[in-house]
């Protein structure tokens, strides 16, 4: 029988800081692919992280930073579609930019 040597639980951003150089970049790509001129800078994204959930973050951004965005009856659909593009973009971003993903100190503990 094989002895278990490690068990790792992960939530986005737990083992590596993927928010700034992963998720933020993926959101910006999703915006560009949708023909939107939105861009989340590092500092703005830091503020937006106070809002839990990607779709909720998009709605918060529209309500607080893009009051010029034309109201649409289908804002829920827009935020859902934009958010749905993130999982497809993120592996490509992390794969190409793995050098810029910073591991969190102390996230992994080795036990003998």
Q: Does the active-site annotation cover 10?
A: yes
Q: Which of 12, 37, 76, 81 is catalytic?
A: 12
Report which of 24, 21, 36 is spatially closest to residue 78, judged by C-alpha positions. 36
Q: Does the active-site annotation cover 21?
A: no
Q: Which of 10, 21, 76, 81 is catalytic?
A: 10
Looking at the annotation, which residues are catalytic? 10, 12
């Amino acid at each position: 029988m094989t002895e278990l040597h490690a068990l790792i639980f992960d939530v986005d951003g737990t083992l590596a800081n993927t928010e700034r150089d992963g998720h933020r970049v993926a959101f910006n790509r999703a915006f560009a692919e949708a023909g939107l001129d939105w861009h989340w800078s590092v500092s703005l994204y830091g503020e937006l992280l106070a809002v839990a959930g990607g779709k909720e973050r998009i709605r918060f951004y529209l309500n607080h930073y893009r009051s010029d965005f034309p109201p649409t009856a289908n804002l829920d659909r827009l935020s859902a579609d934009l958010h749905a593009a993130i999982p497809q973009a993120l592996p490509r971003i992390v794969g190409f930019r793995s050098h810029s993903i910073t591991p969190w100190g102390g996230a992994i503990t080795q036990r003998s």
